[in-house]
């Protein structure tokens, strides 16, 4: 499901960002979970043959952001805690997922995972998001 925002130039998911990752997520409202299949382009290499850690953090953050956004929740990341468990290969099929675990007041607690095709968790993250007034995100 492409983002419903017009002219979405988000680096991770925006169709209108020529330099973006163009991630396409699916959303399961029952699980409050967003998922995406992807392969990492070699231009995002860090250590030789593997993905850069900053790009992995971007993916994990975006999966949680989509679990909020595709459920109609407007929120921003206020904390991101990434665990890099295994080297992430370039070009190989990967599965990215983000899920809301709980909500306390304006604070939303989420988890995300990046897995390989065999189902091994390569990296995962905990994120805290804060609900914000949509007007604050507009310029
Ligand atoms: C999120 C933001 C709008 C919060 O501003 P605000 O609406 O005025 O919220 P407040 O500062 O009143 O904080 C609200 C609550 O969140 C908590 N909080 C705010 N920032 C936090 C952070 N980085 N880590 C943990 N908690 C944080 C505050 O302690 C407060 O908690 P409390 O109610 O338990 O006291 C502002 O910090 C911001 O714009 N941050 C940048 C977000 C961003 O760029 N994210 C990456 C891209 S999405």
Q: Which atom of ligand 1 has the smallest separation from the CA of 129?
A: 1
By most ligand atoms within 8 Å of CB, the mutation choice from 66, 67, 69, 78 for ligand 1 is 78
The pLDDT tens digits for 46-63 are 999 999 999 999 999 999
pLDDT class for 139, splitting at 50, 70, 90?
low
pLDDT at 2 > cutoff 60: no
pLDDT at 108 > cutoff 70: yes
Mean pLDDT value of segment 12-41: 97
By most ligand atoms within 8 Å of CB, the mutation choice from 62, 130, 134, 136 for ligand 1 is 130
The pLDDT tens digits for 62-75 are 999 999 999 999 99
Q: How high is the mean pLDDT of the chain?
A: 95
Cβ–ligand 1 contact at 117 (below 6 Å): no
Distance (Å, whole) CA 87 – CA 52? 9
pTM for the whole structure: 0.92
Side-chain-side CA neighbours of 59 within 13 Å: the count stands at 30
Cβ–ligand 1 contact at 132 (below 6 Å): yes
pLDDT at 98 > cutoff 80: yes
Report the pLDDT value the prediction gives residue 6, as an integer from 0 to 100: 76
pLDDT class for 5, splitting at 50, 70, 90?
low
C-alpha 127 – ligand 1 centre gap (Å): 13
Provide the residue count of the chain.
Answer: 139
Distance (Å, whole) CA 70 – CA 1? 9
CA quadruple 60, 64, 17, 131: dihedral sign: negative
Please choose, from the candidates 19, 23, 66, the residue with its C-alpha nearest in 3D space to the C-alpha of residue 43: 19
């Amino acid at each position: 499901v492409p983002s419903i925002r017009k002219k979405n130039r988000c680096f991770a998911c925006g169709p209108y960002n020529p330099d973006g990752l163009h991630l396409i997520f699916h959303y399961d409202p029952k699980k409050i979970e967003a998922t995406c299949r992807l392969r990492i382009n070699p231009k995002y290499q860090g250590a030789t043959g593997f993905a850069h850690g900053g790009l992995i953090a971007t993916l994990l953050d975006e999966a949680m952001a989509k679990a909020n956004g595709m459920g109609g929740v407007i929120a921003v990341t206020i904390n991101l805690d990434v665990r890099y468990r295994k080297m992430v290969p370039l070009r190989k099929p990967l599965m990215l997922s983000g899920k809301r675990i709980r909500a306390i007041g304006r604070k939303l607690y989420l988890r995300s995972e990046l897995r390989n095709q065999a189902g091994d968790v390569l990296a995962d993250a905990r994120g805290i998001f804060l609900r914000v007034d949509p007007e604050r995100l507009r310029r």
